[in-house]
Structure 1
Amino acid sequence: MALAIQLSEVLDNFQLNAPAQVKHDINKSRLEVTASFRRDAAIQEGAVLPAFELVNADGGKTSSADLLAKGPILVTFYRGGWCPFCNLALRDLQSNLDAFKAKGINLVAISPELPDQSLSTLEKNELGFSVLSDIGNVFARKLCIVWKQPETLRPHSKAFGNDLQVINGDDSLEVPVPYYTKRLDGSIPLAWADEL
């Protein structure tokens, strides 16, 4: 099934079945980020991806230089393993992993989750590519793709068992706006995720 259909089904199910206050607060925050997020301020097509060194799921370090030594990289940012939309997107990327490899492209996923959480995401989704931790959204902030979720979402996240303070190691409620970047010869064509 196509990713767009799967994402739509998750959203439709949420709209039909979520408690009224949860639905109100999440829908309001989705509208706010869609209206306020400045794509023009974020890294743009043709820009050079800043170098990075992030913690991998095993607790070691992975740098962009190490990855680029093996060939071009495709980077995807996701909010965390707690996000059903993100998990679907990661699984979709996994289903296309052979096609990426055939073109010599190395795929890497980045979230603000702590390494243990990233390892859980990697295992849960049976991913065959690197999952890196951008603790504190330091790298995402350089790309201007960080969104601070409203405080109204904190109790809902905790009620669903997703305490972002524990998952991310900070109390900020900040997450990256999901998108993909592909670095080939210093440039980055961007594809923003439709489900901001």
Structure 2
Amino acid sequence: MKKIILFLALIAAVSLQVKAQKGLKEGDKAPVFTGIDQNGKNVSLKEALKTHRSVVLFFYRGQWCPYCNKHIKELQDSLNLLSAKDAYVIGVTPETKENIDKTIKKTKAGFSIVQDKDDEIMKAYGVNFMMDEATFTKYKGYGIDLEANNGNNRHTLPVPATYIIDRSGKIKYVHFDPNYQKRASVQLLLSKL
């Protein structure tokens, strides 16, 4: 019971921290970015939109997050349906390549996952937040070491947002919820493609 109460307090603390973040809105121009995915492939939003009707861009916190893993697995399980609508899926995370590999092992993700080494993509999309020291310490008490997971000491995480970006580079759908337990369902994404 004590662990449940502590876990709920942790959720509340993180939710309060990210309320200031707004993310981008439908109709906004999507910031272009490039990165290297888990296979060493150069991933560019601009290039993906040249060859696909849309991009499903989502941000996740790390391989240690069960809600992230569940969402990634759901995206992977429905990748054929998303691809049939000519959507290209890109995941963005602050975690290291080694931890991205753990995410892939857990979820069987076959789409591009890009490490946001300097938090530039998260900042461009307005999903980044800095975890305060008290919350960082609580996470560490649960066995989650962000410094080891992300390979830096910035304590930055993304709000687990999802954006659908159309061929013109405009954001056509946004799921942005500071409650990291809530994610856009695949059915909802399919209906917006």
CA contact (8 A) 1:113 1:167 kept: yes
Distance (whole Å) between structure 2 residues aligned to residue 129 and residue 47 of structure 1: 25
* Deviation digits for residues 64-85 of structure 1 (CA, Å, limit 9, x no counterpart): 2332232021101111111111
Q: Which residue is 2:24 aligned to? A: 43
CA contact (8 A) 1:55 1:134 kept: no
> Once the 2 structures are TM-superposed, how far is the Cα of residue 158 of structure 1 from its aligned partner?
2.6
**Correspondence 1:77 to 2:59:** yes
Distance (whole Å) between structure 2 residues aligned to residue 30 and residue 76 of structure 1: 19
> Once the 2 structures are TM-superposed, how far is the Cα of residue 119 of structure 1 from its aligned partner?
1.9
Aligned AA (1:30):
V
Give secondary structure in 2 for the equivalent of 1:18.
helix
**Correspondence 1:66 to 2:71:** no
Distance (whole Å) between structure 2 residues aligned to residue 100 and residue 193 of structure 1: 22
Q: Structure 1 101/31 Cα, relative in aligned 2: closer, same or farther at 3 Å?
A: closer
CA contact (8 A) 1:25 1:153 kept: no
CA contact (8 A) 2:94 2:157 kept: yes
- Which residue of the other structure, out of 27, 45, 52, is the alignment partner of 2:33? 52
> Once the 2 structures are TM-superposed, how far is the Cα of residue 102 of structure 1 from its aligned partner?
0.6
Give secondary structure in 1 for the equivalent of 2:90.
strand
Distance (whole Å) between structure 2 residues aligned to residue 129 and residue 68 of structure 1: 15
Q: Structure 1 96/193 Cα, relative in aligned 2: closer, same or farther at 3 Å?
A: farther
Stretches of structure 1 lacking an aligned partner (at least 5 in a row): 1-15
Q: Structure 1 121/31 Cα, relative in aligned 2: closer, same or farther at 3 Å?
A: closer
- How large is the RMSD of aligned CA atoms in angstroms? 2.1
Q: Which residue is 1:8 aligned to? A: none
Aligned AA (2:152):
D
* Number of aligned residues: 177
Q: Which residue is 2:141 aligned to? A: 159
Give secondary structure in 2 for the equivalent of 1:136.
coil
- Which residue of the other structure, out of 7, 10, 16, is the alignment partner of 1:32? 16
* 4+ residue runs over 6 A deviation: none
Distance (whole Å) between structure 2 residues aligned to residue 30 and residue 43 of structure 1: 20
Identity of aligned residues (%): 23
Give secondary structure in 1 for the equivalent of 2:147.
helix
> Once the 2 structures are TM-superposed, how far is the Cα of residue 25 of structure 1 from its aligned partner?
4.3
Q: Which residue is 2:176 aligned to? A: 192
TM-score w.r.t. the length of structure 1 is: 0.80
Give secondary structure in 2 for the equivalent of 1:186.
coil
TM-score w.r.t. the length of structure 2 is: 0.81
CA contact (8 A) 1:57 1:116 kept: no
CA contact (8 A) 1:58 1:119 kept: no
Q: Structure 1 134/78 Cα, relative in aligned 2: closer, same or farther at 3 Å?
A: same
